[in-house]
Amino acid sequence: MKNTLFTLIIFSICFSFKAQNVNPNNRPKLVVGIVVDQMRYDYLTRFYDRYSEGGFKRMMREGFNCKNNHFNYIPTYTGPGHASVYTGTTPKYHGIIANNWYDKDIKEMVYCAGDNTVLAVGSNSEEERMSPRRMVSTTFADENRLFTQMRGKTIGISIKDRGAILPAGHTANASYWFRGKNEGNFITSTYYVTSLPKWVEDFNKSKVVESYMKEWNTLFDMSTYIESGDDLNNFENGFKGKETATFPYNLKTLAKNNGEFDILKVSPYGNSIVADFAIAAITGEQLGADNDTDVLAISFSSTDYIGHNFGVNSKEIQDTYIRLDLDLARVFNALDKKVGVGNYTVFLTADHAAVDVPAYLQTVKIPAGYLNNAETKQKLEAFLLATFNASDVIENISNDQIFLNEDKIKALGLQISSVEQSIVNEIISYKNIDKVYAAQTMNTTSYTTGIEALLQNGFNQKRSGNIIMVPEPAYISYPKKGSTHGSGLNYDTHVPLLFFGKGIKHGETWQKTEITDIAPTISALLGISFPNSAIGKPLEFITE
């Protein structure tokens, strides 16, 4: 009897200790989500030896590294990427099907964060009327706000408006993005506030931004940058006013011909500005200062601008990531000092990756190339005229999708599904087109693997087009210099996923994880409801 009683007491103590360890009240004071725009997974490994101990390496050393993390939908663009990271779902459900898409109701292109019902705050520009209203699901930041009765704060920060707005969700206290041109300020919209807080005004007046209008040269001797291609090559765009895309770049001199302060977006200093502003926000908003968890959503976008301009194998990309690593270290040091070691949790991922410049791939005998969209459109219009005796069957072609004039098709006495299939059968014969699917197929067939499953996860019944086209691998609709993204292939889907901080154990895995797992994982860590359309699963193996 004594032994039994002793066993029960020990069991009770152990159970209580275990329950205390998983107590949802033992939450981090601050969750920091970091999205690096256009970051391939191999940037972690290729540039590893050049990184400091305080940035990427600190996350890997102290936290958990998910090495086989992928996007599980098409298209891999910035707007859908940021939305998917924070909602835990795909465009099929959150509705952000691209950065810009054709709205079938109003018959015109719309922008993922555009909102004409609001005005810019901090700028008089009509171009900055932004909100998250086109995203139809909640983010984990929204669920945290609801859980804390709106006491927990959410702040979104990025160079790009969509990179700040979509992650922060519908209930954010504010999202701030960078207005370049001749202004060089962080701004927001009346969706959030009617005037900028004092700390934002102080930052804008501080001349921090102006201090980065200087020379951009490699941080270290360029001859040591052996992890990237030649500085002088035929695969990079560079800046207007400079004959070659080669270091150094005098940003102050080049600014006049390159959008004034917008030139900073296409330099590593754009990331430094975001880091500066994020550090100011921690103090200005008193993030992590009480027991209600706050959320700080940071997106580093200059990596994407530089990747598009110079390509993924450029010296410019390598230098940018070496410098970003130091900016991450600055942010982590600020968190240590202002929130406290062990009081915050961080995750880092990307909104998509990118393909090597096809023109470069061709030089090393890898199949790659460029789509001739004008020729495709001409052939398709000739086919439609010959087949249906109509020249206005197509309303729009964008994002590898074709939107049909359904009213015209009905007026011709035809079934939309039959016309869709006829177009599918025609386009699949075109050069460099790998696969073509009709909306009817997406609506009636359930796919679980392959490109087809990714297409279906990106297909929104109300917003997507009638026809979806898939180019051959490494064939893109883009100029012959610079990189882009958007496919469901590994060069676009494989991105980093690092966690570290409170509640995260040290480790790594090659087990496949998906971008939609991030939001449920953070929600589980906080003990809050999952975002309302989340389809991902919590990664329980990363938590202590």
Q: Which residues are catalytic?
A: 78
Residue 420 to residue 531: CA distance in whole angstroms: 35
Contact 400, 75 (CB under 8 A): yes
Other Cβ atoms less than 10 A from the Cβ of 491: the count is 20
Q: Are 185 and 204 in contact (CB under 8 A)?
A: yes
Q: Distance (Å, rounded) from C-alpha 82 to C-alpha 455?
A: 18
43 CB-near residues (< 8 Å, 6+ apart): 317, 321, 496
203 vs 212: CA distance, rounded Å: 14
Q: Are 481 and 359 in contact (CB under 8 A)?
A: yes
Write out the two tokens for 409. 């098709």
In whole angstroms, what is the distance from residue 420 CA to residue 409 CA? 10
Spatial strand order in the sheet of 394-398? 394-398, 401-404, 467-471, 433-438
Residue with tokens 């309303």: 395
Separation of alpha carbons 239 and 257, rounded Å? 8
Nearest residue to 23 (alpha-carbon basis) of 347, 344, 345, 503: 503
Question: What are all long-range contacts of 443-452, with beta carbons under 8 Å and residues at least 24 apart?
Answer: 451/74, 451/488
